[in-house]
């Protein structure tokens, strides 16, 4: 049994709100334009949400526009070719592989790499089933030098 999950949850939860707060001064089209411009500057979708919250005072994009960030990007045809969580896992695996090239006897990192790659395979299987990734997409560790 995992000991890390025996404790309570000490994180904040979003308030259950249906409408747009009265203090948000942006229209849905303004928010969509902000999302598109931030994505074109190179920010990933999760960072876009954080920037909109912290800099523009937009608590949730979905609350204002009725659509999530990824749906807005898909509608404009500029969504990323790979989901962000899978991309980040592949980048992490590339870093660990580079570390293992210098330190081949680091067995703890080898085990960590196995766990990361297991997550990559599970997530890729899920995204293939949902149609986000093409059915013939395959994770090849030898090609991940582009992420390093």
Pick from 51, 50, 75, 49: which is nearest to 62 by CA?
49
Residues 55 and 101 in one domain: no
Residues 88 and 138 in one domain: yes
User: How many domains does the chain fold into?
Assistant: 2
Residue 128 has pLDDT above 90, yes or no: yes
Q: Is 7 exposed, middle or buried (0-12, 13-18, 19+ CB in 10 A)?
A: exposed
**16, part of any domain:** no
pLDDT of residue 36: 96
Q: What is the pTM of this model?
A: 0.79
Residues 94 and 64 in one domain: no
Residues 53 and 102 in one domain: no
Higher pLDDT, 10 or 72: 72
Residues 67 and 93 in one domain: no
**19, part of any domain:** no
Cβ atoms < 10 Å from Cβ of 120: 19
**Average pLDDT across the chain, whole number:** 90
Residues 42 and 93 in one domain: no
Read off the pLDDT of residues 75-122 as tens digits, 9 standing for 90 and up. Answer: 999 989 899 999 999 999 999 999 999 999 999 999 999 999 999 999
**93, part of any domain:** yes
**12, part of any domain:** no
- Structural domain span for residue 50: 28-75
Residues 94 and 121 in one domain: yes
pLDDT of residue 14: 74
Q: Tokens 């995204």 label which residue?
A: 127
**11, part of any domain:** no
Read off the pLDDT of residues 129-148 as tens digits, 9 standing for 90 and up. Answer: 999 999 999 999 876 655 55
């Amino acid at each position: 049994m995992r000991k890390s999950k025996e404790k309570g949850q000490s994180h904040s939860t979003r308030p259950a709100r249906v409408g747009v707060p009265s203090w948000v001064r942006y229209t849905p089209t303004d928010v969509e334009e902000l999302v598109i411009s931030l994505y074109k500057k190179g920010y990933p979708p999760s960072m876009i949400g954080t920037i909109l919250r912290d800099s523009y005072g937009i608590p949730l994009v979905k609350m204002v526009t009725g659509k999530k960030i990824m749906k807005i990007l898909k509608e404009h045809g500029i969504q990323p070719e790979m989901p962000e969580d899978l991309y980040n896992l592949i980048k992490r695996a590339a870093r660990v592989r580079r570390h293992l090239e210098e330190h081949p006897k680091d067995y703890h990192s080898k085990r960590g790499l196995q766990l990361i790659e297991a997550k990559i395979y599970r997530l890729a299987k899920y995204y293939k089933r949902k149609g986000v990734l093409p059915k013939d997409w395959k994770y090849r560790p030898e090609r991940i030098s582009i992420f390093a």
